[in-house]
Chains A and B, each alone.
Chain A
Amino acid sequence: MSDFQVKVAPKKYDAIIVGSGAGGGMAAYVLAKAGLKVCLLEAGPDYDPAKNSAQLKNPWDSPRRGASSKYRPFGEFDGCYWGWEIDGEPYTQTKGSDHFEWWRARMVGGRTNHWGRISLRFGPRDFKRHSIDGLGDDWPIGYEDVKPYYDKIDRLIGVYGTNEGLENDPDGIFLPPPKPRLHELMFKKAATGINIPVIPSRLSILTKKINDERGACFYCGQCNRSCKVYGDFSSSSVLVKPAVLTGNVDLITGAMAREVLTDKEGKAVGISYVNKSDKQEYQINAKVVILGASTCETARLLLNSKSQKHPNGLANSSGVVGHYLHDSTGAALGGVIPNLMGRKRYNEDGVGGMHVYTPWWLDNKKLDFPRGYHIEYWGGMSQPSYGFGMGTQGLNGKFQVNGKTKEEGGYGSSLKEDVRFFYGATVGMGGRGEAVPRFENHCKIDPDVVDKYGIPVLKFDCKNSEYEIKQAKHMKETFREIMHEMGAVITWGDQDDASNNYGLSNPGNIIHEAGTVRMGNDKKTSALNAWGQAHDCKNLFCVDGSVFTSQADKNITWTILALSMRTSEYILDQLQKQNL
């Protein structure tokens, strides 16, 4: 290949960041605002919700009517490019493992363009789980180390909620929450009646304007499409855009990182990447290298960055990179509320997510599994899209429609009546719990497979343990009780039992994966120190979910943001002291 060459950019940056999601976006924001010259690499195309969101589209605006496709597994209006599979970028599984489902976003802002905006702080106990139940490891930091950063991002980004004084669900600086919807009041009444708390959710959605760059929420219920007025948090709109506006950031899209480059002493010097549009190889040098490519992609980059000084992959003398991979647990169940059938119509969109939720409320000492879960509730008169009205034959024989008993199935005006009658009566709930990170659960480089850019791919070997399975069993029991209290009829999720792990999701499926480049005080059992800095390479940092020692039953984005801000401020401090 005589025409093969690597183009080295002449400019040397203060920092190069891989990935523009929550972690990378926050690092770019903090460093650029401080005046550093930053290169931000993103594997996907540019994306600005103001221009590219499908917000306020009607189902009939697309011939697909909002159905999912391989490009958008959560529906074609969803704000995330790609998902479980990407053309030309395979990943593989070890035989006998649970199938790890790996979600990958390829776009500026990453997954934050479509996420549920559930913005929960970890509590004091979440950082010290080993001390409590003897499983896994404690973080090298505690709530008191992260609290100032949670406070800062609450103010910078905006989150609604209420201060409830719960020890492990810390208070924050909250905007007012929206009032519960009708089915949420029903959930609340039923659950609190059996001593399960239901409190306002905590979502990063602006129920009030917080600055002139962003508008307030206008209650279309479509946060998953990303918001054209920036009324919710996406890294693209809230972090990357203002970072680029400082003039200190060169954002390079379509840049698929191949390797972290190191010098003879083992220090990081930059990143090599493939430009997806011209297919050429490029190299960019910087004083500091920051990885926010996502939990597994960051591990893949490190494992693919082998050198004489780092024969095991970069930052991996401990051998933990790729290990301790864990996702939230998940199980769900749903049905219909007869009292909601034939209901009065009004605009019930609300914010793009639940208005109330249940934080973990029990004591594990009295249970047969460790760690907890929170409950998310769904329902309401939402916008119909592909799939709406399907399976009506499963309902219209079971419930009287406007006082009439009908034969299951049917057609015609009678079927139209049924669809109208059942609309808005469907509800569901899902548990999101804490898995115990274990060394055995890992991803590693597949020795036999490369992607279309020639980059060796990940091979997953992950299995749920008894801990997670028992948690799912408990979720199902709880959900049944709540449904019963509410007078609801369960239509799905009730059949799960030991034969299918009580409906427990495959690891990866909940898309909260973390732990592959974990932090710790002991360099023999962790890859990063308490600042997210590699033990083996002082100018290399990780700022995504990979750094998590354990992940609580809280969605991890708010903590990724807080830790990325903390790491970025540490980088500024260390650069000033010339320690990097």
Chain B
Amino acid sequence: MDRRNSIKAMFLGTVSAGVFLEACKSEKTTVAAVSDADRMQEEKDYLVKINAEPKFFDEHEMATITVLGDIIMPKDATSGSASEAKVPEFIEFIVKDMPEHQIPVRGGLRWLDLHSFNKHGKSFVSCTHEQQIGIVDEIAYPKKAKPEVAQGVSFFNKMRDLVTTGFYTSEIGVKDLGYMGNQPNQWNGVPDDVLKHHGLAYTEKELKECISF
């Protein structure tokens, strides 16, 4: 994408900062100027800096995050999977932005591989889907899990959090959730059928005083 066009698109609000950064990278620009009218200069400089850093996760780690992500948020009848929603890319960014995630995620991924190796003689991604689910079942239920996999439970809690939040803040996830706002609207109160369902009603005072459309 031509830089000038992408800046123009950005001002129109149709292209995201992420897309723009990708566009800059594909031009092999070393220092990409992030143009976001809502960000102050210090924020732009910071984003340029962390996007110029080498990738935090290596290929094997990314592959593991992708497999795990799609187990946590798989494609179903309503929406696509974590990888379709670009959750692994989100996690790569967010651990750079919030370095407190780095050790728990990296260390947890290694814990997972060792656990998998001890059980099946291979890394987590090399296991069959059934073997992967078997391992996940050991660490996905905090109350049921055995004490010897406590570190795995903590890691999985963190991955569940990151994958869930990454998924439900993506375009696919927000649509899945059915969030209908973030657009011009005229708030006319709670729909009648919803009021009725909850046994509630507006008072005459409210109907008289409040704005109606």
Where the two chains meet, the residues of A that have a C-beta atom closer than 8 Å to any C-beta of B are 44-45, 51-54, 56-67, 69, 71-72, 76-77, 81, 87, 107, 160, 162, 175-182, 185-186, 189, 200, 207-208, 218-222, 225, 339, 343-351, 381-393, 397, 407-413, 415-416, 419-420, 423
Report whether B16 and A67 are in contact in the complex, using a CB–CB cutoff of 8 Å. no
Measured in the bound complex, the distance between the Cα atoms of B93 and A350 in whole Å is 32
Instruction: Name the B residues within 8 Å of A207 (CB-CB).
Output: 211
Q: How far is the CB of B141 from chain A (nearest CB, A)?
A: 4
Cβ-defined contact, B38 with A407, below 8 A: no
**4 more A-B residue pairs beyond the given contacts A45-B40, A384-B173, with a C-beta to C-beta distance below 8 A:** A69-B43, A383-B181, A389-B161, A412-B74
Which of B17, B46, B176, B181 has a CB less than 8 Å from the CB of A381?
A: B181
B206 touches A409 (CB 8 A): no
With contact pairs A57-B38, A178-B211 given, residues A409 and B16 touching in the complex (Cβ less than 8 Å): no
Q: Is B165 a contact of A411 with CB atoms below 8 Å?
A: no
B198 at the interface (CB under 8 A from A): yes
CB of B168 within 8 A of chain A? yes
Taking a contact as CB atoms closer than 8 A, the residue among A58, A81, A221 that contacts B171 in the complex is: A58
- CB contact under 8 A between A349 and B181, given known A179-B187, A385-B169, A416-B73: yes
Partner-contacting stretch, out of B25-33, B54-62, B121-129, B188-196:
B188-196
Task: Evaluate whether A220 and B169 lie within 8 angstroms (CB atoms) in the complex, with A45-B40, A61-B17, A381-B179 already known.
Answer: no
Q: How far is the CA of A61 from the CA of B17 in the complex (A)?
A: 6
Nearest chain-A residue to B162 (Cβ)? A390
Is B5 interfacial (CB-CB < 8 Å)?
no
Q: How far is the CB of B46 from chain A (nearest CB, A)?
A: 7
* Bound complex: CA A189 to CA B201 (Å): 10
Tell whether, in the assembled complex, residue B190 and residue A185 are in contact, meaning their CB atoms are under 8 Å apart: yes
- Closest chain-B Cβ to A390's Cβ sits at a distance in Å of 4
Question: Is B177 interfacial (CB 8 A cutoff)?
Answer: yes
Residues of B within 8 A of A69 (CB): 43, 46, 97
**Residues from chain A with Cβ under 8 Å of B184 in the complex:** 218-220
Tell me the complex Cα distance, A54–B42, Å.
16
Q: Which of A179, A351, A381 has its CB near the most chain B CB atoms (within 10 A)?
A: A179
Q: Give the residues in chain B near A63, CB-CB below 8 Å.
A: 17-18, 21, 89-90, 93-94, 97
Given A69-B43, A179-B202, A220-B182, decide whether A60 and B170 contact each other with a Cβ distance below 8 A.
Answer: yes
Complex alpha-carbon distance, A71 and B40, angstroms? 9
A-B contact pairs, 29 of them (CB 8 A): A52-B37, A54-B38, A57-B38, A63-B94, A64-B97, A65-B94, A162-B209, A176-B210, A178-B187, A179-B189, A179-B206, A180-B206, A189-B200, A219-B185, A219-B187, A220-B183, A222-B182, A343-B194, A348-B190, A349-B181, A382-B179, A389-B164, A389-B167, A390-B164, A392-B164, A409-B144, A416-B76, A420-B176, A420-B177
- Interchain pairs with CB closer than 8 A, number: 237
Contact, CB under 8 Å: A185 / B141: no
B79 contacts A by Cβ under 8 Å: yes
Does A56 lie within 8 Å of B13, measured CB to CB? yes
Could you tell me the dominant secondary structure of chain A's interface residues?
loop
Whether A384 contacts B21 by the Cβ 8 Å rule is no
Tell whether, in the assembled complex, residue A411 and residue B160 are in contact, meaning their CB atoms are under 8 Å apart.
yes
State whether B200 touches A185 (Cβ < 8 A).
yes
B178 within 8 A of A: yes
Q: Does B112 contact A (CB under 8 A)?
A: no
What separation, in Å, do the CA atoms of A107 and B38 have in the docked complex?
A: 12
**Interface contact A409-B140, CB-CB below 8 Å:** yes
Q: Please determine whether B38 and A52 come into contact, CB atoms closer than 8 angstroms.
A: yes
Check A179 against B165 for contact (C-beta < 8 Å). Answer: no
User: How far is A513 from B191 in the complex, measured between Cα atoms in Å?
Assistant: 40
Docked-complex contact A77 and B165, CB < 8 angstroms: no
How far apart are B185's CB and chain A's nearest CB, in angstroms?
A: 4
B93, B94, B182 interface centre (most CB from chain A within 10 Å): B182
For chain B residues 150-169, which have a beta carbon within 8 Å of chain A?
156-157, 160-161, 164-169
